[in-house]
Structure 1
């Protein structure tokens, strides 16, 4: 069991000072995806800016285990170009 911290950036950075006790890196990865999904469920517009959403998962030793990154890419639709 280890403590993992979920630092988020969506144009502004927020540090997780509490963390979560989880069994291993795989459990932390799944929790990061759930956590990001919850954030987006509460505020889907958070990825409208060009920065997207990034969740850095840090273990208790300060090691970056992985990052979950969500970006929304707006396609430029030019109707006249398809004609």
Structure 2
């Protein structure tokens, strides 16, 4: 088991100080996606605030192991519908 931390990087840094133990990186990746889903379910407006949201998974030494990027981007066609 290894401990993983899911930090939110968006207009600052929200550091996960608790973390969670997973048997391997693949399981941590799946849990990171679930974590992102929960964050977006609770605060969907975060996608449209103009900034990219990054979830960085780190280990106990604060090494970034993988990142999930989220960004809402309006297409030019949307301007024609306004």
Query: Same fold per TM (> 0.5)?
Result: yes
The unaligned stretches of length 5 or more in structure 2 are: none
**Normalising to structure 1: TM-score of the pair?**
0.86
Larger radius of gyration: 1
SS in 1 for 2:74: coil
Judge which range, 33-42 or 69-78, deviates more: 69-78
**Normalising to structure 2: TM-score of the pair?**
0.87
1:17 pairs with 2:17:
yes
The unaligned stretches of length 5 or more in structure 1 are: none
Q: RMSD across aligned C-alpha pairs, in angstroms?
A: 1.3
SS in 2 for 1:47: helix
Contact 1:53 1:70 in 2 (8 A): yes
